[in-house]
Structure 1
Amino acid sequence: MKKLEDMNLVDDFLMTSLICHQEYGDRSVRYMLECILNRRFGKLTVVPQRVMCGADPEKHGIRMDVYIDENDGEIIDIEPDQNDGKADVKAVPRRNRFYHAKIDSANLAAGDDYSNLRNVVVIFITTYDPFGLDRMVYTVKNKCIEESDMPYDDGAVSLFLYTKGKKGNPPEELKSLLHYMENSIEENAGTDSLKVFHHMVTAVKNDGEVGLAYMKSVEIEKRIREEGREEGREEGHRDGVRIGRIQEIVRLSRRFNKSDEEIIQILLEETGLGEDQARDALKKYS
């Protein structure tokens, strides 16, 4: 695993630690949002790694990296994403569709009028090009195919921000922020606002409580891997060893609130499964 000091803002742990930091959380979230959406924000409620479970244990849930509720305004979800496997990239549009659906379903009370459904913006910040067109900003909204100029506003917006994108003409501050998020070093903090932001990121990395939390996270992952191996050995034969390890890795990972992608990564590294097999195993043993 990476050292904390070597982490970038596209790494889940550092992003979560920054946005929930008592001193710097609100300021850092506002800076990112104002760069990305180019407007000021009022009162915000920020929930790191908010989980929305499925309707029952057999249904899929989601864990959002940064869930932001602008009181009396929009709901915004920020998803830093480095999962550049072929299957992951192909699934991004459907993943985005599912995130919108889960957020909407959680924010309309029974009997409430559809006109009260709030605007939702889902923002993916990716270190890979999700659509292969080398754009830094892809803005996606629903529209009428036959009448492309026909007004159709359902309140759903999706932004895909590719940190290495070359095409398009996004604001300079946004370009600088996205480059910085992928490689969060002082040399990439090229504007006055970004220098202030980098100071906050550095302070969070050097915060003792954050360091202890990261050490705990590392120990938990080590425990998941080791206990998964031990459980597999106790099964007593080759297939049993593999199945036992998979089951224990999934069980312990769920216990310690690991995300689906984190569990899949551990399965890939510890069991020899392919990516599709790891995803199937996660569904089977969750």
Structure 2
Amino acid sequence: MSAKRIPFEQLPITNRFMFAMVFGHKEIAKPFLEAVLGIRIHELKDPEPEKTIDVSPFYKGIRYDVFVKETGPDGEVLRSFDIEMQMEDNVDIPKRTRYYQAMCDSEALNKGEVYYKLNDLYIMFLCPEDIFGQGKAVYRFKNLEVDNPKIELGDLCYKNFYIFNKYRDVAEKSIREYLEYFATRNPSSPETKKIDRMVKWYQTDNETRKRYMTWQQEIDIAVDHERQRANDAEKRFYEAKDRANKAEARADEAEARANEAKGRADEAEARADEVERLANAEKARADKYEKMLRELGKL
């Protein structure tokens, strides 16, 4: 059953469409990234909200909420950031980050380029609940050597998770203010007030409403498509199961017939053994009688 749809005029920042629209502005995304990652960003290219990557019609594509790249003085790409608002369906997020990394990297290099040109990649998920269940408000992951965690793999990929309902547990004020706004929708800093003003503007903008309706239709179509694929897969499963059951029944019948034939063969063999035994006994009596006649001189 699908979740209750929120009226457009009430769409919060935690709605993926609204989040993508607002954070699709670099003057919103840049201070956010600097605050939650503790870094300084030289310049951001215009963010790409709802950026879609389809590498092949045969493989699963992805749609980022907000994808943005940092550029240097000469326009070179320094770092890439994928920012995702995830309100539900949190079970598979760790594996989603793995797939997102693969898709980001596949697009980062042109054919023939060397791997060292891969730059820092940050994949960031904003979630309401603690998906790891360890009581933390912020989880930061990078690849380390198992037996000696002081050794880093150095692949420059970082996966961060921000649990905004636990904003009270965040020591860093700059991070806490953002997470508090996502959790309560009450802005408490100049940056979150700016976000809130933009949300309210989008809520009243007719062009944004039209884009939202188109976006929602695309989502509904995608959901229906996935549901149909699931139904088709379930139908194929039960058809295959039915064929397997019928084949098993035929095998059982064949086995029963084979066992019956073997039983008849065993009975025939037993009768043959009995006939042979009687014949041997009759021959023994005949030999004995012949011997007796020879002894009496009758033969």
Answer yes or no: same fold by TM over 0.5: yes
- For these two proteins, the number of residue pairs brought into alignment is 225
Aligned to 1:165: 166
Distance 1:77 1:174 in 2: 17
Question: How big is the shift at 1:116?
Answer: 0.9
Instruction: Provide closer, same or farther for how the CA distance between residues 212 and 183 of structure 1 changes in structure 2, counting only shifts above 3 A.
Output: farther
Aligned to 1:53: 54
Question: How big is the shift at 1:155?
Answer: 0.4
Are 2:170 and 2:176, in contact at CA under 8 Å, matched by a contact in 1? no
Aligned to 2:94: 93
Are 2:81 and 2:122, in contact at CA under 8 Å, matched by a contact in 1? yes
Are 1:4 and 1:205, in contact at CA under 8 Å, matched by a contact in 2? yes
Q: Give the aligned residue type for 2:10.
A: D
Question: How big is the shift at 1:118?
Answer: 1.3
Are 1:135 and 1:167, in contact at CA under 8 Å, matched by a contact in 2? no
Question: How big is the shift at 1:161?
Answer: 0.7
Question: How big is the shift at 1:77?
Answer: 0.2
CA deviation vs aligned residue, 1:206-251 (integer Å, no higher than 9, x gap): 2232133334555x37xx9xxxxxxxxxxxxxxxxxxxxxxxx7xx
Distance 1:197 1:116 in 2: 34
SS of structure 2 residue aligned to 1:165? helix
Q: Is it true that 1:194 corresponds to 2:192 in the alignment? A: yes
Question: How big is the shift at 1:148?
Answer: 1.2
Aligned to 1:35: 35
Are 2:202 and 2:208, in contact at CA under 8 Å, matched by a contact in 1? yes
Are 1:8 and 1:182, in contact at CA under 8 Å, matched by a contact in 2? no
Q: Is it true that 1:211 corresponds to 2:212 in the alignment? A: no
Q: Is it true that 1:73 corresponds to 2:78 in the alignment? A: yes
Counterpart pick for 1:9 among 2, 13, 16? 13
Distance 1:198 1:112 in 2: 42
Instruction: Provide closer, same or farther for how the CA distance between residues 131 and 31 of structure 1 changes in structure 2, counting only shifts above 3 A.
Output: same
Instruction: Provide closer, same or farther for how the CA distance between residues 35 and 4 of structure 1 changes in structure 2, counting only shifts above 3 A.
Output: farther
Question: How big is the shift at 1:156?
Answer: 0.4
Aligned to 1:125: 126
SS of structure 2 residue aligned to 1:195? helix
Aligned to 1:176: 177
CA deviation vs aligned residue, 1:230-286 (integer Å, no higher than 9, x gap): xxxxxxxxxxxxxxxxxxx7xxx25xxxxxxxx17995xxx9xxxx957967xx9xx
Distance 2:231 2:41 in 1: 41
Q: Give the aligned residue type for 2:82.
A: D
Aligned to 2:287: none
Q: Give the aligned residue type for 1:194.
A: T
Bigger helix fraction? 2
CA deviation vs aligned residue, 1:101-150 (integer Å, no higher than 9, x gap): 11011111222121111111000111121101121110000000111112
Instruction: Provide closer, same or farther for how the CA distance between residues 78 and 170 of structure 1 changes in structure 2, counting only shifts above 3 A.
Output: farther
Are 1:137 and 1:170, in contact at CA under 8 Å, matched by a contact in 2? no
Distance 1:105 1:167 in 2: 38
CA deviation vs aligned residue, 1:68-125 (integer Å, no higher than 9, x gap): 01122111001100124xxx41x22111111111101111122212111111100011
Unaligned runs of 5+ in 2: 72-76, 238-299
Instruction: Provide closer, same or farther for how the CA distance between residues 280 and 166 of structure 1 changes in structure 2, counting only shifts above 3 A.
Output: farther
- Counting aligned pairs with the same residue, the percent is 24
Aligned to 1:63: 63
Aligned to 1:244: none
Q: Give the aligned residue type for 2:201.
A: A
Question: How big is the shift at 1:199?
Answer: 1.9
Distance 1:190 1:266 in 2: 40
CA deviation vs aligned residue, 1:157-208 (integer Å, no higher than 9, x gap): 0001111126864412211211212442xxx212233223322222222223
Distance 2:23 2:168 in 1: 29
Instruction: Provide closer, same or farther for how the CA distance between residues 172 and 216 of structure 1 changes in structure 2, counting only shifts above 3 A.
Output: same
Instruction: Provide closer, same or farther for how the CA distance between residues 195 and 166 of structure 1 changes in structure 2, counting only shifts above 3 A.
Output: closer
Aligned to 1:44: 44
Q: Give the aligned residue type for 1:83.
A: E
Instruction: Provide closer, same or farther for how the CA distance between residues 279 and 169 of structure 1 changes in structure 2, counting only shifts above 3 A.
Output: farther
Instruction: Provide closer, same or farther for how the CA distance between residues 202 and 73 of structure 1 changes in structure 2, counting only shifts above 3 A.
Output: same
